[in-house]
């Protein structure tokens, strides 16, 4: 006779894991692309199947019980096995027809990838492309994406990576901003002009400090972590900001401030799981993405 564990539905375990890792039903629902009531029912069904309470329901979220914590490691192992099974099955497909899911930052998805994807679709009409703009790290093992465009070197095991080049960054402002504050002609004059900064990320603050400017979060009077919104704030004249020279050069509403100050570049890496890389359609999209992005640096 099969035990409760043998017959446990993977969808229930998946819901339990999502809640455990995000801390709430609403966040888990967003992660899974499901409704909050559905995730709640799945967690309850798993608790009933196991005869154990897995979460304490708090006003600010869900907290694992002792039993819920004990099950976390084996549930993650189950997820790893399910991901490996799906990858192995997908990797043996020899058909060019099908879907390839690509993830990249919101900014790159908006400003860089669309013309490259258009060329892929023209060359390979049997391949459907799903573009997943995200500033979070999508997991290639669990098929959240087949290919990822990263601005850092991935360290995940069992992935193939290729360094395509480096994006040069520049300092930019709008004509309205310069009309109000004047156009800076030396580094010292930058101190009288506002900057747009990040909200929770400290990347810009670290860059300033490495350049010898000891600023803190309050130095930036307008702050935003969304790269696309950050770009629009700079364009609107909220302050000076940093942007890709490749993209900013095409924007008539931005003017570069080049004072000879070195600004670190962003590396671009193309990544795919080694199993999916052997699938013809993934291999083809990987190749064409690499070619299209590499052309930007030539």
Q: Using one digit for the tens of pLDDT, what is the confidence trace for 106-148?
A: 889 998 999 999 999 999 999 999 998 887 765 555 557 889 9
CA dist 232 and 170 (Å) reads: 16
Q: Using one digit for the tens of pLDDT, what is the confidence trace for 4-29?
A: 445 578 889 989 999 998 999 988 88
- pLDDT, block means (10 residues), the chain with 298 residues: 56 90 89 87 91 88 90 84 63 71 90 94 94 74 76 77 90 95 90 92 85 86 91 95 90 91 88 80 92 83
pTM given for the model = 0.64
Q: Using one digit for the tens of pLDDT, what is the confidence trace for 41-52?
A: 999 999 998 888
pLDDT at 89: 57
69: Cβ–Cβ under 8 A, 6 or more apart, which residues?
none
Q: Which helix (H) or strand (E) holds 241?
A: strand 241-244
194: Cβ–Cβ under 8 A, 6 or more apart, which residues?
181, 220, 221, 222, 238, 239, 240
pLDDT at 86: 62
pLDDT at 96: 74
pLDDT at 94: 59
When the pLDDT of each residue in the chain is averaged and rounded to a whole number, the result is 85
């Amino acid at each position: 006779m099969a035990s409760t564990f043998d017959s446990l539905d993977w969808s229930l375990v998946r819901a339990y894991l999502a809640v455990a890792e995000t801390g709430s039903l609403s966040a888990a629902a967003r992660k899974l692309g499901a409704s909050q009531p559905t995730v709640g029912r799945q967690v309850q069904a798993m608790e009933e199947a196991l005869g154990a309470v897995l979460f304490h329901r708090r006003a600010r979220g869900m907290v694992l019980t002792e039993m819920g914590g004990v099950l976390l490691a084996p549930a993650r192992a189950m997820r790893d096995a399910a991901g490996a099974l799906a990858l192995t099955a997908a990797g043996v497909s020899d058909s060019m027809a099908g879907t390839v899911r690509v993830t990249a930052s919101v900014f790159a998805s908006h400003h860089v990838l669309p013309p490259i994807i258009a060329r892929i679709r023209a060359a390979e009409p049997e391949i459907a492309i799903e573009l997943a703009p995200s500033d979070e790290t999508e997991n290639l093992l669990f098929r959240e994406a087949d290919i990822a465009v990263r601005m850092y070197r991935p360290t995940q095991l069992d992935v193939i990576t290729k360094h395509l080049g480096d994006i040069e960054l520049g300092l930019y402002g709008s004509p309205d901003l310069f009309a109000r504050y004047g156009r800076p002609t030396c580094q010292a004059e930058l101190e009288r002009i506002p900057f747009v900064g990040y909200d929770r990320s400290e990347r810009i603050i670290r860059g300033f400090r490495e350049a010898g400017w000891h600023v803190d979060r309050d130095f930036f009077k307008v702050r935003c972590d969304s790269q696309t919104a950050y770009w629009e704030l700079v364009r609107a004249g909220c302050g000076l900001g940093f942007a890709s020279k490749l993209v900013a050069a095409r924007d008539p509403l931005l003017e570069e401030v080049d004072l000879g100050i070195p600004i670190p570049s962003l590396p671009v890496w193309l990544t795919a799981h080694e199993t999916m890389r052997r699938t013809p359609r993934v291999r083809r999209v990987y190749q064409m993405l690499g070619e299209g992005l590499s052309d930007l640096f030539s």
